[in-house]
Amino acid sequence: MNRTNAFQFSREQKSMQMKQKIEQMILAAAHRAREAGALPSADFPEVQVEEPKLEAHGDFSTNLAMTMASAQKMAPRKIAEIIVEHIHDPENFLLRTEIAGPGFLNFYLAPESWLPVLERVYREDTAFGRTNIGNGERVQVEFVSANPTGPLHVGHGRGAAVGDAVASILSACGYDVQREYYINDSGRQIRTLGRSVYLRLLQLWDRPVEFPKDAYQGQYIAELAEEILDARGKEIDALDEEDAVAECARYAASRILSGIREDLTAFGVKYDRWYSEQHLYDSGQVADAIENLRRTGQVYEKDGALWFKSTDFGDEKDRVVVRSNGETTYFASDIAYHQEKYERGFSRVIDVWGADHHGYIPRMSAAVQASGRDKDQFHVILVQLVNLLRGGEPVAMSTRAGEFVTLKDVVDEVGKDAARFLFLTRHYESPLDFDLELAKQKTNDNPVYYVQYVHARITSIGKKADEKGVAAAGWDPEAAKVLQELEEIALIKALARFPLVLQTAARLMEPHRIAYYLMDLASGFHAYYNKHRVLTDDPVLTRGRRCLVEAVRKVIRNGLDLMGVSAPEQM
RNA sequence: GCGCCCGUAGCUCAGCUGGAUAGAGCGCCGGACUUCGAAUCCGUAGGCCGCAGGUUCGAAUCCUGCCGGGCGUACCA
């Protein structure tokens, strides 16, 4: 993906990001120094500007003098001095510049240099933070894709939260994103589903049956059987066993799938497309894909089965696509499916999988490459497991026994916002402890409310101000000049970071960065609020502060929106 | 055995693909409501970044080898 300095901002100068402005200033200084003969080499490394962790190190710093040292054959501190001498700052952007440590260049900005950020927040409003680094590239994010053999559980919820947020983030960065759910409505697990329901149905008829271990055990299976009994028991009873099982499978899968759709809708996830595996078979695409592999010699027969040479692309062993009994494997339809994704015009495909599927990545990647795509066009986000707790104690989750807490249960109990936010407070590769009691708590322990509270609080301030008629809302350049407090500048700086945080989140496909950013911004606001009054006796100061907090509200709202979490006006 | 992920404060976790004195929340202890929402804030304490080497101006971050935990290793999905 792009380097930070490759990002393009085609708007006018003042909407350019602070950081980028500093980068250009430094680069220009280095070139000027070179032209003046002060630097021996024109071999300049990439200018890296960062925001130092310590305030004592300024607003921005660069290590350029150090990274340049070997090419220039000069001491870093000496190079730093030369660059400083050649810095050109006609707008008086900089308060001062200093050389520190082994050769860091630290820049201190004049407080008013930050004010254009506020203006930009107002001008761009809901679009603040958005960029076009994706340049319209078509990306597909496929997530959840749980088999329609049972209700979604919390793990699927995490996958849904991550997949949906990644899609939103990429979309906000200028990618043309499609969200897709792949329905495994074909094959063995569907037959097992049908058989499970059928057996429960037989039990309802008091016929002696043994319910096998490998059948689906959950209570919902028995409930489905009762439904079928009421709806069309007689018809089913008239069929022979094979047809009866098929009918049960069709009915059950359809009911379960609509349940899944409802649960995801309640969770705030909206797909652009639901894609049926069965459709791949019916349309002949699976057969075509296998035929293509045959034609290109990427497949061979052994022991009566057909094997794909995934080892040609780094997998540790070859994989079966057609079993010796003539049935295709799940992998075969997956090959066809992924080929079809690229044929639909996506240049990049992102799959969100549970971490227990990681062994599947090499063969899928091999299949993608075998169809002529580049390795980088396929990316799997592996989401780690969720440990469900209640008050610190593990909640029994046995898939085999069919005892698990469903996503619906969790959403009903703790709410969509809390669930989504908490799912995104960890890097997706870290296992997540999800405590139901904690998720419901409306205290400091719960980051969702901590962030949402800021939004509600500022909305409330706004209403109060409107009632009193003391301060107009909106961008007010004159009043903004009054913002000089340390906490005020710190808040504006935090706002300025949002677009960069969003870009990093997109580049690394890591939604948790948004969550952490929002918690940080919220913390900055709460600290400010407790120290300074927004509504004061001074009308100009009040306008300026209202302008600031309103900007904070907008950014909080934008960030929460990316996470699929609401920004309430009151709580 | 082999492969992937994880190991950072008592607990749960960040750490912007190599930067300066490693951060936050919770918990502990001590403070702040007659004023815009206390679902909040302020302060104190707490660390061989699993261990040992290596790469370099510089490593929690990159490389190698161990230790510990999770997952995977099907003609299952």
Strand B closer than 7 A to residue A229 Cβ: no
How far does the CA of A273 sit from the C1' of B62, in Å? 41
Q: Which nucleotide is nearest, taking the CA of residue A323 and each C1'?
A: B75
Longest dimension (CA), chain A: 97
For A53, residues 6+ apart whose C-beta sits below 8 A from its C-beta are: none
User: Sheet containing A273-276: which strands, arranged edge to edge?
Assistant: A273-276, A176-183, A138-142, A348-354, A378-383
Q: Which nucleotide is nearest, taking the CA of residue A56 and each C1'?
A: B20
Strand B closer than 7 A to residue A148 Cβ: no
Q: Which nucleotide is nearest, taking the CA of residue A448 and each C1'?
A: B39
Q: Which nucleotide is nearest, taking the CA of residue A101 and each C1'?
A: B20
Distance CA A90, CA A275 (A): 58
Strand B closer than 7 A to residue A512 Cβ: yes
- Bridge partners, A99 (sequence order): A105
Strand B closer than 7 A to residue A460 Cβ: yes
Exposure letters A444-460 (e unless 16+ CB within 10 A, then b): eebbbbbbbbbbbbbbe
How far does the CA of A462 sit from the C1' of B40, in Å? 18
At residue A144, the 3 state secondary structure works out as: coil
Identify the residue whose Cα has the smallest distance to the C1' of B75.
A323
Strand B closer than 7 A to residue A398 Cβ: no
Q: Which nucleotide is nearest, taking the CA of residue A441 and each C1'?
A: B39
Strand B closer than 7 A to residue A534 Cβ: yes
How is A252-308 classified by DSSP, letter by letter? HHHHHHHHHHHHHHHTT---SEEEEHHHHHHTTHHHHHHHHHHHTT-EEEETTEEEE
pLDDT at A401: 52
Q: Which nucleotides of B are covered by protein (CB under 7 A)?
A: 2-6, 12-17, 19-27, 32, 35-42, 57, 70-77
How far does the CA of A214 sit from the C1' of B64, in Å? 45
How far does the CA of A444 sit from the C1' of B26, in Å? 9
User: Smallest Cα–Cα separation from A341: which of A170, A513, A142?
Assistant: A142
Strand B closer than 7 A to residue A6 Cβ: no
Strand B closer than 7 A to residue A380 Cβ: no
Angle at A459 (CA atoms; ends A458, A464), nearest 5 degrees: 95
pLDDT at A142: 96
Amino acid, single-letter form, for residue A395: V
A328: which 2 tokens?
């295709």
Distance CA A121, CA A50 (A): 22
Strand B closer than 7 A to residue A443 Cβ: yes
Strand B closer than 7 A to residue A56 Cβ: yes
How far does the CA of A508 sit from the C1' of B17, in Å? 10
Identify the residue whose Cα has the smallest distance to the C1' of B25.
A445
How far does the CA of A448 sit from the C1' of B39, in Å? 10
DSSP annotation of A362 reads H
Strand B closer than 7 A to residue A7 Cβ: no
pLDDT tens string for chain A (571 positions)? 222 222 222 333 334 577 888 888 998 999 999 999 888 888 888 888 888 877 778 889 998 988 888 788 888 888 899 999 999 998 888 898 988 888 889 999 988 889 999 999 999 999 999 999 999 999 999 999 999 998 998 889 999 999 999 999 999 999 999 999 999 998 888 999 999 999 999 999 999 888 888 888 888 999 999 999 999 888 999 999 999 999 999 999 999 999 999 999 999 999 999 999 999 999 999 999 999 999 999 999 999 999 999 999 988 889 999 999 999 999 999 999 999 999 999 999 999 998 888 889 999 999 999 999 998 899 999 998 888 888 777 776 655 555 568 899 999 999 999 999 999 998 898 888 888 888 888 876 789 999 999 999 999 999 999 988 877 778 999 999 999 998 999 999 999 999 999 999 999 999 999 999 999 999 999 999 999 999 999 999 999 999 999 999 999 999 999 999 999 999 8
Place of tokens 């200033």: A25
How far does the CA of A248 sit from the C1' of B37, in Å? 55
* Topology agreement, domain A4-109 and domain A445-563: no
pLDDT at A390: 83
- Strand B contacts in A 239-298 (CB under 7 A): none
The secondary structure of A196-259, three-state, reads: HHHHHHHHHCCCCCCCCCCCCCCHHHHHHHHHHHHHHHHHHHHCCHHHHHHHHHHHHHHHHHHH
What's domain A445-563's architecture?
Orthogonal Bundle (1.10)
> What dotted CATH number matches A4-109?
3.30.1360.70
Q: Which nucleotide is nearest, taking the CA of residue A277 and each C1'?
A: B77
- Strand B contacts in A 293-352 (CB under 7 A): 302-305, 316, 320, 323-325, 327, 329-331
How far does the CA of A432 sit from the C1' of B48, in Å? 28
Q: Is A77 exposed, middle or buried (0-12, 13-18, 19+ CB in 10 A)?
A: middle
Q: Which nucleotide is nearest, taking the CA of residue A516 and each C1'?
A: B14
How far does the CA of A53 sit from the C1' of B22, in Å? 10
For A372, residues 6+ apart whose C-beta sits below 8 A from its C-beta are: none
Q: Which nucleotide is nearest, taking the CA of residue A442 and each C1'?
A: B39
How far does the CA of A62 sit from the C1' of B19, in Å? 10
At residue A107, the 3 state secondary structure works out as: strand
> Taking a C-beta distance cutoff of 8 angstroms, is the pair A79, A62 a contact?
no
How far does the CA of A389 sit from the C1' of B69, in Å? 19
Q: Which nucleotide is nearest, taking the CA of residue A503 and each C1'?
A: B16
Distance CA A189, CA A203 (A): 21
> Taking a C-beta distance cutoff of 8 angstroms, is the pair A555, A124 a contact?
no
Distance CA A287, CA A312 (A): 22
Q: Which nucleotide is nearest, taking the CA of residue A463 and each C1'?
A: B36
Domain boundaries, chain A: 4-109, 188-266, 445-563
Q: Which nucleotide is nearest, taking the CA of residue A457 and each C1'?
A: B37
Q: Which nucleotide is nearest, taking the CA of residue A149 and each C1'?
A: B77
Instruction: Say whether the ipTM exceeds 0.90.
Output: yes
> Taking a C-beta distance cutoff of 8 angstroms, is the pair A175, A429 a contact?
no
For residue A111, report the phi and psi dihedrals to the nearest 5 degrees. Answer: -50, -40
